[in-house]
Amino acid sequence: MAHGLDPERLSAQFDEIDRLNDHVEGLQLLKSCEVDILADGKLDLPDSILKRLDFTVCAVHYRFDLDIEAQTRRILRAMDNRCFNILAHPTGRLLGERPGYAVDLDRVIDGARERGCFLEINAHPTRLDLDDVHCRQAREAGVKLSISTDAHSTVGLNAMRYGVDQARRGWIEAADVLNTRPWKELKPLFSR
């Protein structure tokens, strides 16, 4: 989206992260990116770049007007890509601003389970999707969730508590949440 990284700049970022990981003791930076799901369900970065990421967070940011069938198929098609790990803000709603797009979350949850993908609980106070009902449904389906702040600055990290509260409303426990794990346990969950 705004000033998004193209493959070239992302590749330069990978090199910089590798350099830091080699040189700074006790630090491990992961490579990731929020990747747009295009209208046809493709991802907006080539697989050759996606494969170099430790994990991906993929999201719908435009074409909210698709009907429920087309929007659901768009997301499932994106999940078919083996580089797809986490579906960010799964409904696209912005509280007090706009409703979410039409999407069949039953099929998205089932599709995530079948493909080994995960869904996000977005902790930003204007998002908070998944909602409580779908959090619980994901858990019952055996789909793990990430709780993400959607932070665009360090201040944004303070939103984590809202995501945790949202998760608790959906009866989510620590074991259901991806990012309660150390990297060595998380890593295999991202290899499809």
- Its sign, for the CA torsion 172, 92, 82, 183, is negative
User: Which part of the chain contacts Zn ion (CB under 5 A), choosing from 52-60, 67-75, 93-101, 182-190?
Assistant: 52-60
Judge if the upstream peptide bond of residue 130 is cis by omega within 30 degrees of 0: yes
Shortest reach from residue 72's CB to Zn ion, in Å: 18
Choose one: 39-47, 57-65, 121-129, 130-138; the region binding Zn ion (CB under 5 A). 57-65
Which DSSP string corresponds to 3-61?
Answer: TPPPHHHHHHHHHHHHHHHHHSTT--PPPEEEEEB-TTS-BSS-HHHHTTSSEEEEE--
- Per DSSP, what are the bridge partners of residue 98? 94
Please report how close the Cβ of residue 60 comes to Zn ion at its closest, in angstroms.
Answer: 8
Residue 121 binds Zn ion (CB under 5 A): no
CB of 55 to Zn ion, least distance (A): 15
Report the residue number, 59 or 143, with the smaller CB distance to Zn ion.
59
Question: Which residues sit at the interface with Zn ion, rule CB under 5 A?
Answer: 59
